[in-house]
Structure 1
Amino acid sequence: MNIKENVVEAVFLKRPNRFQAYILLNGEEMMVHVPNTGRCKEILIEGCKVILREGNNDKRKTKYDLIGAYKGDKFINIDSQIPNKVVEEALINKKVLSLAKYDIVMREKTFGNSRFDFKLSNSKGEIYYLEVKGVTLEYNGVAKFPDAPTERGTKHLNELIEAKKQGYGAGILFLMQMDNIDIFMPHDDMDKAFGDALRNAKRAGVDVMGYECLVGEGYITLDKNVKCNLE
């Protein structure tokens, strides 16, 4: 998918809280919105080059969203609203081969006490619940999730297990918002409960999928499958 809004380069200065950052654009320091509640500490380092998306709402408090940054030569998209859009595009275009049999793609559907990102179905009456997690944490080709504790993520995994028990298809897709990833792993040092829940889900028959993206300053699209190591 292409980013339709105007994008510009800036220099990252600091991030006083989860939703705000200060950047330097054309010699002017200004506050921008950060559409990611994760820590991103290994990405948003003072002096790094960041990419801003210009907003088109005059009522906004900030003119720009900080949607990506360069970690050395690697560009990483950090917009937490992007993964579902990328995966929806991929599902419609049958790029997730294991889910290609599902023709109906619906967003934000409730199951039990959770709202899953997607409910997929087809003319045979088959139903599949899919949860998507955007991944921005990477070291030397190894991507990990989460980069901050996530009770909500663990809850989603337990609900996927329940969906599987009730006879539905169920899966979680980790979308790496970058390229050149060798392997994906749960980040046990950050949230062991999530890692254990992910392993339990895998044992219960929940599909665990990983994909990297083709990504640039003005575009991002689902690309290659990435091996998921849960050991």
Structure 2
Amino acid sequence: MKFPEPLVEGRLIRRYKRFLADVRLPDGSEVTAHCPNTGSMLGCQPEDARVWLSRSDNPKRKLQYTWELVETSPGQLACVNTARPNSQAREAVLAGTIVELAGYPECRAEVKYGAEKSRIDLLLSGHDTAADAWVEVKNVTLAEDGQGFFPDAVTERGQKHLRELMAQVQQGDRAVLLFVVNHTGIQTVRPADHIDRKYGELLREACDAGVEVIAYRADLSESDGTPTGVLTLTESVPVILEV
């Protein structure tokens, strides 16, 4: 997927009230942008970091700008808009990029399911030889020394999703946890046991129960760290579950 318009570069002043971020534009003016991320954004909001905003001309919107990308360290970019990964995943599935999920002609989003009243990000069906695939998508942006970690804060919602996926396997379907790696500095993905030990335990339990865990990376930037404006998933990334 590609941003329809060029992004606007600025400098981060602060993020606050979870969904707001003040940004200084190159002309010295300051704007308040929508921050579409409910997580802690650990490591993704350095002081005075370069950030990139999308702009909307919709007069009904309260905020014209949306925070999309951040330079977490020199030359490394992360996509912090958690509304993007589902679209990235859907596009990659339909394009056949995610080889583990190839062969499904039907892809539905936000389908209600489960005893805990969840909504699955993607439900894939219509495969000639494989069962329906229930795909939960997670955005990975927490990077430490080339390793990506999920989650970046304790997530009871994420724990619930793992339980729901295990239940689908018991019913005879495929259940897949797809990590969308939206950080150019990440080479592997691990459960963040140091942040949410329960999530790590449940993830390993889910794997033992037959839930498939895969990760794919988005190519966000040029070699000099300049954003390409493209969020397309390009290659798989190893998922490491060993403690």
- The TM-score with structure 2 as length reference comes to 0.91
Please name the residue that 1:33 is paired with: 34
Compare 55-64 and 13-22 and name the one that shifted more: 55-64
Question: Residue 136 of structure 1 is aligned with which of 136, 141, 146?
Answer: 141
- Unaligned segments of structure 2, at least 5 residues: 222-226
Preserved CA contact (<8 Å) 1:163 1:169: yes
Structure showing the higher strand proportion among its residues = 1
Give, as a single letter, the amino acid of the residue that structure 2 aligns with 1:122.
G
Count of matched residue pairs:
231
Q: 1:61 to 1:182 in 2, by over 3 A?
A: same
Preserved CA contact (<8 Å) 2:42 2:142: no
Superposed displacement of residue 123, structure 1: 5.0
Structure 1 SS opposite 2:44: coil
Please name the residue that 1:176 is paired with: 181
What is the alpha-carbon distance in structure 1 between the residues aligned to residue 220 and residue 127 of structure 2?
A: 34
Please name the residue that 1:44 is paired with: 45
Give, as a single letter, the amino acid of the residue that structure 2 aligns with 1:21.
A
- Unaligned segments of structure 1, at least 5 residues: none
Superposed displacement of residue 196, structure 1: 1.0
What is the alpha-carbon distance in structure 2 between the residues aligned to residue 90 and residue 208 of structure 1?
A: 16
What is the alpha-carbon distance in structure 2 between the residues aligned to residue 202 and residue 41 of structure 1?
A: 26
Please name the residue that 2:240 is paired with: 229
Question: Residue 119 of structure 1 is aligned with which of 117, 123, 126?
Answer: 123
Give, as a single letter, the amino acid of the residue that structure 1 aligns with 2:138.
K
Compare 37-46 and 132-141 and name the one that shifted more: 37-46
Structure 1 SS opposite 2:97: coil
Preserved CA contact (<8 Å) 2:19 2:34: yes
What is the alpha-carbon distance in structure 1 between the residues aligned to residue 63 and residue 103 of structure 2?
A: 42
Please name the residue that 2:224 is paired with: none
What is the alpha-carbon distance in structure 1 between the residues aligned to residue 235 and residue 127 of structure 2?
A: 28
Superposed displacement of residue 101, structure 1: 2.0
Please name the residue that 2:24 is paired with: 24
1:55-70 mapped onto 2 (5 Å cutoff): 55-70=56-71
Superposed displacement of residue 103, structure 1: 1.5
Give, as a single letter, the amino acid of the residue that structure 2 aligns with 1:5.
E
Compare 101-110 and 137-146 and name the one that shifted more: 101-110
Listed one character per residue, the Cα deviations across residues 109-164 of structure 1 (whole Å, up to 9, x for unaligned) are 12212211011111547311010001111112100011111111110110100000
Preserved CA contact (<8 Å) 2:23 2:33: yes
Aligned pair 1:163/2:168, yes or no?
Answer: yes
What is the alpha-carbon distance in structure 1 between the residues aligned to residue 62 and residue 231 of structure 2?
A: 26
Give, as a single letter, the amino acid of the residue that structure 2 aligns with 1:7.
L
Identical aligned pairs, as a percentage?
Answer: 35
Structure 2 SS opposite 1:219: coil
What is the alpha-carbon distance in structure 2 between the residues aligned to residue 73 and residue 214 of structure 1?
A: 13
What is the alpha-carbon distance in structure 2 between the residues aligned to residue 123 and residue 222 of structure 1?
A: 22
Superposed displacement of residue 56, structure 1: 2.7
- The TM-score with structure 1 as length reference comes to 0.96
Q: 1:123 to 1:199 in 2, by over 3 A?
A: closer
Give, as a single letter, the amino acid of the residue that structure 1 aligns with 2:5.
E
Please name the residue that 1:149 is paired with: 154
Please name the residue that 2:207 is paired with: 202
What is the alpha-carbon distance in structure 2 between the residues aligned to residue 143 and residue 223 of structure 1?
A: 17
Preserved CA contact (<8 Å) 2:103 2:127: no
Say what the alpha-carbon RMSD is for the aligned residues: 1.3
Question: Residue 189 of structure 1 is aligned with which of 185, 194, 200?
Answer: 194
